[in-house]
Structure 1
Amino acid sequence: MPSKDERSESEISEDSLRLALERLGANNRKRPNHTMHPKPSSEPRRRRFVQEGQVVVEHHQGSRATQRVSAAPGDDHAEEMNRLRNLLRLEQRRAEDAQRELGDAQVQLRTLETHLVHEKLHVKELKSRCADVEQALLDSQVIVERLREQVAAPKAAAERVAASGEIVVRKTRGPGRPPKVRPPIDPAGEPEPVQWWKD
C-alpha cells in the first residue's frame, strides 16, 4: 500500500499537471483565431486531459493553405467536368451534323436512282424506235429494189423486142405487173387472105 507521502506526491504531480494543462488551454482561448493562426508544425498538437464530468469538443479549422489545396482538386475536377461536357456537346453536334448529311445524301441517292431508272426507260424506248426505223428502212430498201427490177424488166423486154422484132401488146393491169409479150408472127407461114368480095 502506498504511503501518505507517495500519495501526496502523486496528487501534487497530478494536480500540477492539470493546472499546467489548463493554463495552456486558457492561453489558447485568449488568442483570437481570426487574427493569428498557429503555425503548422510537424509535431502533433497536444491534447487537453478531460476532467471528470467534462466533455471536450475540439473544432478543427484547416488553414487557408489546406483549404486552397483541398479546393484546388475540386476546381480541377469541375474544370475537367466542364471540359468533358463541352467535348460531349461538340461530339453530339458533330453526330447530328453527320446524321443530317447522311439523310441528305440518301435523298440525293434516291433522286439519282430515280433519274437513272427514267433514263434507262428513255434509252430503251429510243432503242425500240431506232429498231423500228431500221426495220422500216430495210423494208423500203426491199421495195426500192423490187421497183428497180420492175422498171428494168420492161426496158429489157423492149430491148429484146426491138432486137427480135416482136410486137408487144400492153394491157393495163395492176401496177407492178410486167406486160405480156407475144411471140413474133412469121409472115411466110401465114395463109393469104381470102378476097370474098370478088366472088
Structure 2
Amino acid sequence: MSDAGAEEAALRALNRMGSRKGAAKPAATLRLSSNTDNTGTARKRRFVRDGDVPVEHHQLARTSARPVAASTGADEVRLNKALENERRARGDAERQIHDLEVAQRSLTTRLGHAEVLMAELKQTLAVRDQELADRTAELVRERATVQQAAEEIRALRKQIRKSSARNESAGIHDDVPTDENGQQPIKWWKD
C-alpha cells in the first residue's frame, strides 16, 4: 500500500470516528492536503508529532443513556420560522400548480373548441367550393349558349343582308301602287 493510500485510509477512519459524536453541528471532514499550494510550488509535508493531536478517551461501557443536546429557545424559534416558511412555500407551490392545471384544462378546452370550429369551417368551405364549382360550370355553359346565340344572330343578319341585297338587285318589289313620289298609299279602311 502506498503512502497516499494509507493516508487516505487514515483520514476516512478519522472522519468516521468524528461523525459518531452527538454534536449539533456536523463534524468537519478532514481533507487531504495537496502537495502544492495555490502558487503552484511544492510544499514540504508536515507529520504529526507527539502532543500535536489532542486525544480523547471514551468509555465503551455506559451505565446511563447519552444526554440529549438541549435546544435553546432561540433555536426553536428559528426552526419554527423555517418550518413555517417551508409550509408557506409549499402552499404557494400547490396553489401555483392548481392554477397551472386549471389554465391547462382551459387551454385544452379552448383547443378542442377551436378544432371543432375549424372542422366545421372546413366542411362549410368544401360545400361552398363545390357550389362555386357548380356555378362556374353553369356560367361556362351559359356563356357558350350566349356565344352560340350571338353567332346565330350574326349568321341570320348576314342572311338577311344577302337576301335584301338580292331583292334590291333583282328589283323584286311588291305589287303595291305608288304615287308620283314613290310612296305607297295608306289604307283607311279595315279589312
What's the TM-score, normalizing by structure 1?
A: 0.50
- How well do the aligned residues superpose, as a CA RMSD in angstroms? 2.5
Q: Deviations over 1:75-106 (max 9, x none)?
A: 11111111111111111111111111111111
Tell me the secondary structure at the aligned position of residue 86 of structure 1. Answer: helix
**Alpha-carbon deviation of 1:56?**
6.4
Residue in 2 aligned with 1:126? 135
* Corresponding letter in the other structure for 1:95: Q
- Check if 1:107 corresponds to 2:107: no
Residue in 2 aligned with 1:14? none
**Alpha-carbon deviation of 1:132?**
0.7
**Structure 1, unpaired ranges of 5+:** 1-53, 168-199
Tell me the secondary structure at the aligned position of residue 138 of structure 1. Answer: helix
**Alpha-carbon deviation of 1:62?**
3.2
> Aligned partners of 2:102, 2:129: CA distance in 1, in Å?
40
> Aligned partners of 1:57, 1:137: CA distance in 2, in Å?
115
User: Which of 145, 155, 158 is residue 146 of structure 1 equivalent to?
Assistant: 155
**Structure 2, unpaired ranges of 5+:** 1-62, 174-191
Residue in 2 aligned with 1:71? 80
> Aligned partners of 1:60, 1:93: CA distance in 2, in Å?
48
Residue in 2 aligned with 1:90? 99
Q: 1:1-199 alignment to 2 at 5 Å?
A: 55=64, 58=67, 61-162=70-171
What's the TM-score, normalizing by structure 2?
A: 0.51
> Aligned partners of 2:163, 2:105: CA distance in 1, in Å?
87
Report which of the two has the higher share of helix.
1
**Alpha-carbon deviation of 1:58?**
4.8
Q: Which has the larger radius of gyration?
A: 1
> Aligned partners of 2:65, 2:155: CA distance in 1, in Å?
136
Percent pairwise identity: 11
